[in-house]
Structure 1
Amino acid sequence: MKRILTIVALALLSVTTYAHTLTGDPPAKPMKNVVQHIVLFKFKPETTQAKVKEIVAAFEALPSKIKEIKGFQWGTNNSPENHAHGLTHAFILTFDSEKDRDTYLPHPAHKEFGTVVGPWIGELTVVDFTNQAK
């Protein structure tokens, strides 16, 4: 399972690193030493699409409430490899440091988001890493 999560995390990083190919812009240099906080959700079967949209909107609002969040991306799984284990939504938050990430975790806005999403999550995976890209 750890290997699968690592593969998922690296795949997500690859997608974000090479997103420039969609716009034709030159590739952005990977930001070394930033902390990537990757969150993967599998919603409970009874979660409606309207509820999912509400949850995503609440997550999208966090960067405006928590100054330590320097980047926010999200998307839904579209991998043809069939290794997602039912995880459907991926979120990547970027922090300048572990200290900033550690400030985010107990932040009241993050805790409030947890009360919004918590009842609807069937599975949750979180992987953090400090980017070592050159």
Structure 2
Amino acid sequence: MRSLNYICLLLLTGTLLTPIATAQAKAKKGVYRHVVLFGFNEDISDEQIKEVEDAFGKLPSQIDTIIDFEFGTNVSPENINDGLTHCFFVTFKNKAGLEVYLPHPAHKKFVELVKGKLAKVVVVDYISK
């Protein structure tokens, strides 16, 4: 009887959470994604890298068109990252959000902060499907 209750609870939980997950997936379709990849110069210290990470992470609180933000460092075992170590993932509702972001004083200040620290930068924008 106890295992039957457990199975029923699992089925109920799955039934209740599936529409939420589906709605979240649909809500992300059509958003404008701005993907930024950094490779730092070899002489840049861990403290300087942390300063860049922290500054990028503060942009969502300074620029209201950013609707989501995340970042991480390369952990791929394939070793084909070509010196790129950091990936920043910025989401906007639409391209107009990016157009507010790029000339925004907070973004310009961030760009000044990273100048001279990067060996390589790659930026890719796309609309999620």
The alignment's TM-score, normalised by the length of structure 1, stands at: 0.77
1:119, distance to aligned residue in structure 2 (A):
1.5
Pick from 74, 78, 101: which aligns with 2:75? 78
Letter in 2 for 1:34: V
Aligned length: 108
Structure 2 matches for 1:3-14, cutoff 5 A?
A: none
Provide structure 1 residue ranges, at least 5 long, that are not aligned to the other structure.
1-24
Q: Partners in 1 of 2:123 and 2:109 — Cα distance?
A: 18
Of all paired residues, the percent bearing the same amino acid is 41
Q: Partners in 2 of 1:127 and 1:38 — Cα distance?
A: 5
The alignment's TM-score, normalised by the length of structure 2, stands at: 0.80
SS at match of 2:96: helix
Deviations 1:49-105 (A, max 9, x none): 000001100000000100000000000000111210010000000000001111101
Give RMSD over aligned pairs: 1.3
Structure 2 matches for 1:5-44, cutoff 5 A?
A: 27=21, 28-29=24-25, 31-44=28-41
Provide structure 2 residue ranges, at least 5 long, that are not aligned to the other structure.
1-16
4+ runs deviating over 6 angstroms? none
Pick from 58, 66, 69: which aligns with 1:69? 66
